Amino acid sequence: MTSTVRPAVPADLPLIAQLIRDLADYEKLSHEVRFDEATLGEHVFGPRPMAEVLIAEQDGQGQGFALFFHNFSTFEGKPGIYLEDLYVRPQARGTGLGKALLQRLAALAVERGCARLEWSVLDWNAPSIAFYRSLGARMMDEWRIMRVDGAALQQMGQ
């Protein structure tokens, strides 16, 4: 079995969209998925990309992805990489694809002079937490994610 991690190309958009839906199913958040595939493609592959995607393949078949973007640490004075989503299909778990995706992201962070690689994990996802810790990641227990969206975002933006 041959495993590879490569940057996504526009032809991967249907695969990326399906992997996002698969991830939402796994996280029991399918009701939250509202993206339009064309708009997603514009934000990933358009003239001003807002995110990048890596595709993990086994024998040429897409089995996982990592969607990420740059953030910035004022304390470090350097950019970072924020991993928005990491997903490997159940049949491909345990084969090293998740680790390969994270290793490639870490290599990109180093190549790009980033201070850190960060992501969030659901508190109930014990297998993922254990996996991330096995790679040297640490939980930032003192930090909580804040979000403004929907009508509250519209109101705040007025």
* Cβ contacts of 70 within 8 Å, gap of 6 or more: 79, 80, 81, 82, 112, 114
Q: Could you tell me how far CA 76 lies from the centroid of its own chain?
A: 22
Catalytic residue ranges: 132
* Cβ contacts of 143 within 8 Å, gap of 6 or more: none
Which residues on neighbouring strands pair with residue 117, listed in sequence order? 81
Among 15, 35, 36, 22, smallest CA distance to 87 is for 22
Determine the Cα–Cα distance for residues 77 and 4; give it in Å rounded to an integer: 33
Determine the Cα–Cα distance for residues 104 and 118; give it in Å rounded to an integer: 14
